[in-house]
Structure 1
Amino acid sequence: MKRIFRIVAALAVLAVGLVGYTAAMARVGSGAAPEMAAESEQADEIRVDKSDRRLELLRAGEVIRSYAVSLGAAPEGHKAREGDERTPTGRYVIDWRNPNSIAHLSLHISYPNAEDRARAEAAGHSPGGDIMIHGIANGWGWIGGLHRAWDWTNGCIAVTDAEIREIWSLVPDGTPITISE
């Protein structure tokens, strides 16, 4: 019985420690954001294929970068309401960026649009928002590509910290993004 108590106590201490570490790192932030790349190197379009878990940056119709991604924890289908953990599908734009995100840097996707709002309101729900392309939660960047082992976001599109730094520099505000099933 003492052994079971010790194991439970150790797991509880570990859980409290992980929660505390995550909360502290969220306050630390992402550090300095990278400079924007030269305009001639920047993407003019983003495509995300949810079924392939792939984000592509394009310039003049040609893929210039491609990244494996994690999506919302319930990735199939279009985002219908706040809290459904789905990544939306459709055409949006990158409309602002957050260098002080709790996940390493983030680019905001203009979800919900008017159609998304109307659909959610007709169903009696809030459409939600704050859908981003982002890195890993601050302080957890060391897990790198292991984050792709499962879909873990609340509807966002996640890449590694190194990848979001590159995407940040290549994607100006106003860049259109198409997210497909």
Structure 2
Amino acid sequence: MNLTRRFAIFGALGAFLAACAGKPARFLTYNGPEVTRVQVFKGQRILQLLHNNQLLKQYEMEMGFAPEGHKVVEGDGRTPEGAYRINRRNPNSRFHLSLGISYPNSRDIAVARAMGKSPGGDIFIHGTPEMYIGQPDWTWGCIAVTNPEIEEIYAMVRDGTPIFIYP
């Protein structure tokens, strides 16, 4: 067998093995009960995943640097309160992995516009960079958990899942 053919065969074999290696470790699989609801209790700093009324998982979390009250305008440092949906996912997040929350809704937009301001956006559940580990309420309005926890949440929660954020 000539040298060029050997390189071609070994190159193809290497590409095949790399493609079969599976997902990176941060992309977990989940085969349990469907998460039908996400609940966030800002006052207790708790995020819960539920299947109907059954608690599946619970996590401690951090949030916006101004934790009291509902997010009203861009840059206020508050985490929204109310009923939203998980509406997107970002596997390339600066914060490890992230799940988008459908803030702002039409009411949020109307309130901010009445003040002549933007309601902001890009509110996510995401991981925590090393420099923020142990710091309380450091986000600009997002909900932060540890990186291993966002890996679980990312695997368990599907787009379209309702999320209820309580004071």
TM-score normalised by the chain length of structure 2: 0.82
1:23-82, Cα deviation, whole Å (9 max, x unpaired): xxxxxxxx66514422x4331100000000000000021111000000100010000100
1:97 has 2:81 as partner: no
- Taking the aligned partners of 2:148 and 2:127, their CA distance within structure 1 comes to 8
Q: Is the 8 A contact 2:101 2:123 kept in 1?
A: yes
Query: Which ranges of 4 or more aligned residues in structure 1 deviate by more than 2 Å?
Result: none
In the TM superposition, what are the counterparts of 1:27-106 in structure 2 within 5 Å? 33-38=26-31, 40-106=32-98
Equivalent pairs counted in the alignment come to: 144
- Taking the aligned partners of 1:171 and 1:79, their CA distance within structure 2 comes to 23
Stretches of structure 1 lacking an aligned partner (at least 5 in a row): 1-30
The 1:176–1:49 alpha-carbon spacing in structure 2 relative to 1, beyond 3 Å, is: same
1:167 has 2:153 as partner: yes
- Taking the aligned partners of 1:116 and 1:33, their CA distance within structure 2 comes to 33
Q: Is the 8 A contact 1:85 1:155 kept in 2?
A: yes
1:167 aligned partner, one-letter code: I
Tell me the SS of whatever aligns to 1:41: coil
TM-score normalised by the chain length of structure 1: 0.76
- Taking the aligned partners of 1:80 and 1:171, their CA distance within structure 2 comes to 26
Partner residue in 1 for 2:109: 117
Tell me the SS of whatever aligns to 1:91: strand
Q: Is the 8 A contact 1:36 1:168 kept in 2?
A: no
The 1:82–1:33 alpha-carbon spacing in structure 2 relative to 1, beyond 3 Å, is: same
- Taking the aligned partners of 2:140 and 2:36, their CA distance within structure 1 comes to 26
1:107-134, Cα deviation, whole Å (9 max, x unpaired): 0000000000000000111000000000
- Taking the aligned partners of 1:100 and 1:158, their CA distance within structure 2 comes to 16
